[in-house]
Structure 1
Amino acid sequence: MTGAAALRALHHGPGLPLVLPGPWDAGSAKAFADAGFPALATPSAGVAAALGYADGEVPPDEMFAAIGRIARAVDVPVTADVEDGYGLGARELVARLAEAGAVGCNLEDGDRTTGGLVDADRQTDRLAEVRAVAGDALVINARVDTYVRGAGGVAETVRRGRLYATAGADCVYPILAPPEELAELAAGIGLPLNALAVPDGPAPRELGALGAARVTFGPWQQRRAMAAIAAKARELRGGG
């Protein structure tokens, strides 16, 4: 079974979500894999922070290099958040993901230039191009930014999710969707749904019960790790 097939097979559906920790470097990736997680999902914001950049400002070469270090450190499938694809054509994007060792990716429909959303038909064409180039060798998680951008609720998210399904997406990620709307979104879109676990929000199992087939954490695990390091640094400084 290829890495993409193995990752795809882990999507069992709502009730038993695939929990994907978010490593930001090789060390954190190895820690998560050693703990027994069957797959990992790199967060663009967490990787950016680890590299010393703001979210969305990492040069593509550095991002793919970081993904490569993470993928090489573990023996489990790695899916990578590559934001909007960095303006790369489908063929180059798929090639660079494969070179880095990633078997899946997030592709978002938020427009970082305008602060709105990319036209849904244009994003559908983009996803279809990536699928045509990658074949079955890439698990595509189509991120829908309607809730992030304040550009529509359930109806628009379902409309976009259905379009992305026709383009060959394996799953849909309505980032920051209210937990109480997950079941309606999952039923309306008809693909495995990715939910974001946030601090003080529902736990992964709860998100699964609400309709999520997979759960990711964005940059929160990296931020918590750095907060723990900062606290230890203050303790050491105070004791010195």
Structure 2
Amino acid sequence: MADPASRSVTLTPTARRGAELLRLHRDPALLRVVNVWDVVSATTVAAVEGTRALATASHSIAATLGYEDGEHIPVDLMLDMVGRIVRATELPVTADLEGGYGDPAETVRRAIGLGVVGANIEDQLRPVAEAAANVERIMRMAEQEGVDFVLNARTDAFSLGRNREPAVNLADAVERGRAYLDAGAPVVFVPARLDEEQVGALVDAFGPQRLTMIAIPGVPPLARLEELGVARVSYGPMSQNVALTALQHLVEDVHRGGGVPETMRILN
């Protein structure tokens, strides 16, 4: 697509947010997004100084509405919540859309219609050619919609390859990630507890500001990931787990005779 800056005068609000989200991924500064799952979590995160974009967590949205993770939630319900989040903020929103609910390009098209400007789409270890074709269809459709869409093409090489040797998973992630970049994805998501050597190998294979990660305990510090050339880190369902842990702590303290902590903030 053309340089977003050259089209800034004519960009729609969705396209403008898409251009900004792409810029944030291309910036050498590590983009840090704490995932949200409903309107109140989205507005709470957006209100924190330094928040530049929002990312939804499919696991957390499904749990909020009483569904198990893994595309058990109806796509209409997932997109309804995503749309509510988009309408609650002026920040760019990227959505976790799992594997695309049977039709990745159509699901992304519907998400763009809601104002979403980026998405995670899992490969679920489909054959590389099939997964890359999905990426190509998504990016072609997004271009037709006039959006610099930040497809965070996810490979499950590690997350579904737990019974394989780490070196096999790394080689598979490299092959798949390169295929998705060649198909037009701007970034590749490799969720795993990656060590510094693995991160370096992936950045070398994809190029700087092309790898995105989940910042689970055990990965290198954020400052080091930035030095290595990682584009973005996210937190998936962990942000909801942190919030629910705080709720359990409150309940436990109440049962012990305590109450609301003095550190509580009035946020809504």
Structure 1 length-normalised TM = 0.90
1:144 counterpart letter in structure 2: T
Q: Write out aligned runs for 1:12-23 (5 A).
A: 12=26, 16-23=29-36
Query: Deviation of residue 59 (structure 1)?
Result: 1.2
Task: Give the Cα–Cα distance (whole angstroms) in 2 for the partners of residues 160 and 83 of structure 1.
Answer: 17
Give the direction of change, closer, same or farther, for the CA distance of 1:79–1:89 in structure 2 (3 Å limit). closer
Which letter does structure 1 place at the counterpart of 2:252?
R
Supply the distance in 1 between the matched residues of 2:65 and 2:114 (Cα, whole angstroms): 17
Q: CA contact under 8 A between 1:17 and 1:208: conserved in structure 2?
A: yes
Match of 2:245 in 1: 227
Partner AA of 1:159 in structure 2: E
Q: Say whether residues 1:132 and 2:148 are aligned partners.
A: no
CA contact (8 A) 1:22 1:40 kept: yes
Aligned to 2:175: 159
Q: Does the residue aligned with 1:106 lie in a helix, a strand or coil? A: strand
Matched ranges for 1:45-194 at <5 A: 45-56=59-70, 57-88=72-103, 90=105, 92-110=106-124, 117-135=125-143, 137=147, 138-150=149-161, 152-180=168-196, 181-190=198-207, 192-194=210-212
Query: Given residue 227 of structure 1, which amino acid in structure 2 is its aligned partner?
Result: T
Query: Secondary structure of the equivalent of 2:25?
Result: coil
Code of the residue aligned with 1:187 in structure 2: it is D
3-state SS of the aligned residue for 2:116?
Answer: coil
Tell me the distance in 2 between the aligned counterparts of 1:179 and 1:12.
Answer: 23
Q: Give the 3-state SS of the residue equivalent to 1:52 in structure 2.
A: coil
Higher-Rg member (1/2): 2
Distance 1:236 1:213 in 2: 42
Aligned length: 232
Contact 1:24–1:42 (Cα < 8 Å) also in 2: yes
How many angstroms apart in 2 are the aligned matches of 1:89 and 1:33?
Answer: 27
- What are structure 2's unaligned runs of at least 5 residues? 1-7, 9-15, 259-268
Asked which structure has the greater RCO (Cα within 8 Å, sep 6+), the reply is 1
Segments of 5+ residues of structure 1 without an aligned counterpart are: 111-116
3-state secondary structure, aligned to 1:146: coil
Aligned to 2:25: 11
Shift of 1:23: 0.6
Please state how far the C-alpha of 1:71 moved relative to its aligned partner: 1.1
Name the stretch that deviates more: 145-154 or 66-75: 145-154
The Cα offsets for residues 139-170 of structure 1, whole Å up to 9 and x where unpaired, read as 11100110111163222211111110111101
Q: Contact 2:215–2:235 at 8 Å: present in 1 too?
A: yes
Deviation at 1:89, TM superposition (A): 5.4
Distance 1:177 1:230 in 2: 27
